[in-house]
Amino acid sequence: MNTTRKSGNVKKILIFGIGFFEQQLIQSLMSKRKMIVVDIRRDHLENIQSSYPELEIFNGDASSMLTWKKLPLEDISHIIIALRDEDIVVEACRIARSVYDMQIPIIHIAYTDRLNEEIQEFGVTTLHPIDLGIKAVTGIIEKNVAWPLNIGKRQGEIVEVNVLKNSHLVGRKLKYLRPSTWNIAFCYRGDKNLIPTGDFELKVGDKVIIVGEPKILKGVIDTLTKGEPQFPLQFGSYISVPLCSQSPRLLEEAAYLFRLTHAMKLSVLPVIGKTPKDIEKHVQSMNLAYETGYTIASVKEAATQSEPGLIMIPKKRKFGGLNLFYRFVFKRAKHPFILTAGNKEYDHVYIGLNSDSPSFALETGIEMAKLLNIPFTAVYVTLPKDIRGHFETENLQLVQNMINDHELSENASIDFRILEGNPVRETVNFVNSAEGSSKIVVLSYSLNDKISYLKPHVQYMIAGRLKCSSLMLPTEDVNEQI
């Protein structure tokens, strides 16, 4: 039963704890590697050694220094800890790293997530056999999706997906998708290996490696394989609402979006000195599933919050010029925000295409309309034909080509209106005079554009003069228009 401590050149795998999974692991590796098994249960050790006589066994406690002193530690290449007792697992990791300074891989076979953070300081790799099995089975059943089993954190943050023809993202440039919580890291296209850049376009049959937040990737997978709209998950999972005097109407609009879109969390942000005393009662009376976020110094600082997703910002009936509040919001926004007019629902989505990235606005507006099950209209304003120059003519053609491409990929016509005149005045008049009382306008704009009297900011001025809500999509470093 007892073994002597011998030093040799053959490196061995040290396993603490022996169960069904570990027995199968031993069976798989025994012909390739030498192994040592430590278990406090003598009968289990005797049973496993009867099947594998060449296996070295030690009867002992993984958290006991007496046990560790008996082991040929200089011959160990890997440590596998397959114990259910959490305290013993932590102590075994501590002894290996802190007492014996063993800088070798330690693998924890876990059946819960309770120890993930506690043993992270020891540089331990945690494997969940049940999760691995589920992912392997799912990968077989869902032929277009596969999760890697031996790289990363193995928490679903990396996945391989086949892009199918019914995905509406086919033919779209990566820089216009504007993913903030996921990205396409690599693409296999036929016999080519591609590293995606901003100009990368998805094609049918592409096999892509996507990385990001595990909860977000499920929605991305559905978009790439089924073509299902996932708004607002391309920006994040939160809808955040600052608690202020306008909160009741902000919350009603946020609750409507929360119910009908793929947002996962509704977060309320207390504002120092601005949160009414009775607002919590109002929130509770709405029967909303929400969580309280961190406290912010002012309502406008909600735009700079780090939680990815949508931010609800109260909208005055009309603003313009150099209004300091809205200028701050427009210039400092880290994520898309909705300037809310207090709608309990929307009856129409209008998409303004006068920007440096009209495709981004169009993609987002179409997804939003689909999920809310309401019609949408795309609007572009150009100069009258008799004074239209080469630049305006070229831009109009680019926008028309973009609309045609979307119609082909969606296999459906788009209500597209071309107006002539000033883009601010014509867009505002068209939307404000249209039928329906609960509209929303989708506008994209560049954070690099200045807001000044000398150079009017088109999207800022449109949003300020609209009577309805507007979804603002801030962008950066856009060099092409379509």
pLDDT value of position 401: 87
Taking alpha carbons only, the member of 481, 178, 182 closest to residue 357 is: 481
As given in the structure block, the two tokens for residue 169 are 């993202």
Q: Do domains 12-127 and 238-475 have the same CATH topology?
A: yes
Cβ neighbour number for residue 433 with a 10 Å cutoff: 8
pLDDT value of position 60: 94
Taking alpha carbons only, the member of 205, 179, 178, 177 closest to residue 191 is: 205
pLDDT value of position 198: 75
Delimit the domains of the chain by residue range.
12-127, 142-226, 238-475
What CATH code is assigned to 142-226? 3.30.70.1450
As given in the structure block, the two tokens for residue 130 are 């049940």
In CATH terms, the superfamily for domain 12-127 is: NAD(P)-binding Rossmann-like Domain (3.40.50.720)
Cross-strand bridge partners of residue 90 = none
Task: Please identify which residue in the block is written with the tokens 């013993």.
Answer: 88
- Contact assessment for residue 129 and residue 25, using Cβ atoms and an 8 Å cutoff: no
Residue-level pLDDT, tens digit, the chain, 482 residues: 444 344 456 789 999 998 887 888 888 888 788 999 999 999 989 888 888 888 999 999 999 999 999 999 999 999 999 998 889 999 999 999 999 999 999 999 887 767 667 777 888 888 877 766 666 666 555 556 776 655 656 666 888 888 876 676 777 677 666 666 678 889 988 888 888 887 788 887 888 888 887 777 777 777 777 666 778 877 888 899 888 776 677 888 998 999 899 888 888 888 887 776 666 666 777 777 788 888 888 888 888 876 778 999 988 766 766 688 888 999 988 889 999 988 889 999 999 999 888 888 998 899 899 999 999 999 999 999 889 888 999 999 989 988 887 787 667 899 999 999 999 999 999 999 998 879 999 999 988 888 887 778 999 999 999 999 999 999 875 444 44
CA dist 476 to 198, 302, 334, 479, Å? 12, 20, 10, 9
As given in the structure block, the two tokens for residue 360 are 């981004």
Cβ neighbour number for residue 13 with a 10 Å cutoff: 20
What CATH code is assigned to 238-475? 3.40.50.12370
pLDDT value of position 148: 64
